[in-house]
Structure formats: C-alpha cells, structure tokens
Amino acid sequence: MSARRSAAALLSAALAAVMLAGCSGQFLERSYSSVQEHTSRYWESDAANTLRASNRQDVVNDLLLLISQHSSDAIIRLYNETSDLSAAETMERAAAEVQQDTPLGAWALEYITSSVTAQRSYYEVSVSLSYRRTLEQQQRIINATNVDAFYRLLTDTVTAGGSDLAVRLGHWSETDLARLETYAGLVRAEFDVPDEQLWLASCYPETGRAGIVEGLLAPTEEELAAARGVIELAEAQGTAARQLILPAAREESLPESAVPFESLLGFSGYYYEEPAGELWHLRTYVGEREDGRFPLAESFGFGEARDSERDLDGDGIAELICSCAYGGDGVEEVFIYRNIDGVIFRGAIDLTQLELPGWNDYGAGSVGSWYDADAEQFVIRYESEDGSRELSAPDDRFFIYSPYTGS
C-alpha cells in the first residue's frame, strides 16, 4: 500500500499535469429557496400538518421541505388556480422539477404522486413521496464547499470500512467530474483496491449544476448495469455522462492485421494472423461481448487457413472447423469449435474411440486428420504395416469436447 504522503504528492502532480474535462452543463436559471421546517410562509396557520402554496415555486419549496423531513405523505393547499386542470398541471410540473432538477430530489426520490380536490377557495392536494434512499442515508449527507473535499472524505470512508458516501457541494464547475475521477483513482491506488472491485460515482441532478455527489464502493450489478446504460446513451448522444465506473474500462487496440466479422459461433469480433517463418501462420479468432473480448478459436498451418463453417448439430449456430498443421513436424489435426449456451467448446478426435485396423502407433506422425469441406467428411489417415490408410465420417462422432479458454 502506498504511503499517505506519497499519495498526496501524487495528487498534486496529477492535478498539475492532467487536462481536466468533465460534466458539461449550464447552471439552472432558477434558484431554489431555502426552506425552514416551521416557517409560516409554507405552513397553514389553521390546519395542522398542512402546507400552502400560491404558485409553482411555492409547491417546489413545499416538496423540498417534505423531502428534507423524509415525509411520505402530506396535504398542500394550492391557491390562485383557475381550474382542476391548471392545479394538476402546476403539481405535475413542480414534481418533475423537484425530481429532475434539484439535487436532493434527484438523489433521494423514486417518484411523487398527487391527487387534486377542489375546495371553496383553494385546491387540496394529497401528495405521496416514495424514496430510494433511507432516512439514515439522507442524514449522513456531508456538506462540502467543493469537490476538492472528496479526496479526504473518500479516504476517511475507505479507512472506516464504509460502503457509500454522499456529499452536498456548495460549488460545481465543468471540470469537477474529471477531478472527482482523479481523486477516486488516487484513493484506489493508495489502498490497493483491485481492478475487479468496481466503484460507482454519480452526480445529481443529471443536468445543470451538480449539487450532490454519491460514491458507492460496493455497487450492485443492477446499479452498475443502470450506470452503463446512462454512460452508453450519453456517448451515443455526444454528451458527458454524470456517472463514473471506476476503474475506467481500458480500450484495447486492435492488431494491425485484424479482420472484423459480424457473426462467428454466434458472436461478432475479429481475427488476426501472426506469421512464424515464411510459410507457417497462426490465426486467432477473438469474440466480443458486453464484458469485453475473449478467445473464440484458433487455427494454424502452412499456406492459407483451411477453416470452414458447418452446422453439425442443427442448433442454428454453425460450428467452426479448423484443419490445422503443426509447424515442427507437419502433422495435421482437425478441431471443431462449438457454442454451447454461450460458452465456447473445442472438440478434438478421441483416438481411444477409434478402431484403426493394423495401426502402427509409432508416435507423432502415425495419425493425422483434416476436414474435406467439398465432401463434408472428416478424414483420418493413419499408418499401418501395409502403408497409409484412411477412414472418414460425415459428423463429429469421434470427437470429444472441452471448454476452450485460449491457447
């Protein structure tokens, strides 16, 4: 583990060197009034536990007051509305604004519902709030002037064995998401956090000025999947996402000789060739899926690759058949690659299943195999006392399969 002093030095160097670019977003033109629990402006004087509002801004402030108390149900008397429809629209717009544009609403709320009933001089609104954060989590929000406090707060959280951190920021700038990523990376390095242990950082709200930053040090698969969806959507739209998954996925460069394919063994991907000498080559097939790239198959031999596809088991996904030749002695061997429920298996001929009359088993070179694509036959040639003999089969009856994980 790095020393704390070394991490601090690294922090200073990183901030001096890195070009920071982060959450874009224009500041909201609207400002949200701070509310106090017992202010007479928002509570009705003649009705206990009943709020009042004269316009949409008042409704927004009422809802923020309820969220600050983690209240689930309330009554709001809404004045100055001309119809049931206008009252309902005011409530709907205020609820959307609180949940989408305010830090606490965006972070804490799952949804808001309301129903409007006309009274003599006002509309009575029954409001229900559902939360995705607990009262305990809300009470643990830490206030900080800016994102620079996140390094120390995150360090303290990891030291204490905590699993989450929520910080309410007094200031936010366009470079702060990149600064946040830098701080989190330094803390991960200081505590030797393995790459397999992912962290998730999210800014609330998703647009405008971020007012709350949350760090999850043990996010669930559902939380990570939702974050990946947000990040992918932002990338497709050419915007900056307000979420970070750490460590960031490393983009692997493709080999210069890579040839892409759309479908092979049920996967997209590419293959590339590596020459060894003037005649022999190794071809590697690489599959791609959401969690990254993985070895799909390989073939090798002299001259051009002798690979072909054929659906041997009738499951709709063609097997890849590779007729290979070893460079040292030129012995031929055929392999079959098969997709079984998303897992790649490689099949090879099991000589123990074969009856080879008169086989002179003197070791390597006494038997070889390949696939005749024109005749759709697997061919086995072996040496006997009388010379070379061949037998063939139209299917993989002589093959035995095992999971393929690469050479």
Tell whether 186 and 72 lie within a shared domain. no
- What is the pLDDT, as a whole number, of residue 237? 86
Closest CA to 339 of 268, 261, 259, 273: 268
Answer yes or no: do 17 and 162 share one domain.
yes
Q: Which two tokens stand for residue 265?
A: 């063994």
Do 67 and 159 lie in a common domain?
Answer: no
- What is the CATH number for 186? 3.30.110.140
- Residue 252 is predicted with a pLDDT of 62
Q: Is residue 291 in some structural domain?
A: yes
Residue type, position 74, single letter: A
Last residue of one domain, picked from the residues 218, 246, 274? 246
Statement to judge: residues 200 and 276 lie in one domain = no
Its pTM surpasses 0.85: no
Does 16 share its domain with 67? no
- Angle at alpha carbon of residue 157, lines to 155 and 163, rounded to 5°: 130
Per the structure, the complete domain to which residue 224 belongs is given by 4-24+140-246
**φ and ψ of 165, to 5 deg:** -155, 130
User: Is residue 92 in some structural domain?
Assistant: yes
Domain boundary among 217, 246, 275: 246
Cα 118–Cα 121–Cα 126 angle in degrees, nearest 5: 40
Mark whether 273 and 383 lie in a shared domain.
Answer: yes
pLDDT of amino acid 321: 98
128, part of any domain = yes
Query: pLDDT tens, position by position, for the chain (407 residues)?
Result: 443 333 433 333 333 333 333 333 332 334 443 444 444 466 776 666 799 999 999 999 999 999 999 999 999 999 999 999 999 999 999 999 999 999 999 999 999 999 999 999 999 999 999 999 999 999 999 999 988 899 999 999 999 999 999 999 998 887 888 888 889 999 999 999 998 899 999 999 988 888 999 999 999 999 999 999 988 888 888 888 889 999 876 556 778 889 999 999 999 999 998 877 678 889 999 999 877 789 999 999 998 899 999 999 999 999 999 999 998 888 999 999 999 999 999 999 998 888 898 899 888 889 999 999 999 999 999 999 889 999 999 999 999 999 998 86
In this structure, the answer to whether residues 274 and 323 fall within a common structural domain is: yes
Is residue 40 included in any domain, yes or no?
no
What element of type H or E holds 338? strand 332-340
Domain shared by 230 and 263, yes or no:
no
Specify whether the CB–CB gap between 45 and 70 falls below 8 A.
no
Instruction: Indicate whether 295 belongs to any domain.
Output: yes
Residue with tokens 């006494």: 366
Both 189 and 236 in one domain: the answer is yes
- For residue 303, how many other CB atoms are within 10 A of its CB? 9
| 7: helix, strand or coil | helix
| Residue 147 counted as domain residue | yes
- 96 and 176 in a single domain? The answer is no
Number of domains the chain is built from: 3
Last residue of a domain, one of 246, 273, 301: 246
Identify whether residues 171 and 208 lie together within a single domain.
yes
In a domain, 96, yes or no: yes
Give 277: exposed, middle or buried? Use CB within 10 Å, 0-12, 13-18, 19+: exposed
Please indicate, yes or no, if residue 35 is contained in any of the structural domains. Answer: no
The residue whose two tokens read 């709020």 is: 51
CA gap 26, 128 in Å, rounded:
31
Could you tell me the CATH number of the domain that includes residue 129? 3.30.1370.230
Q: Which two tokens stand for residue 27?
A: 């500041």
212 with 269, same domain? no
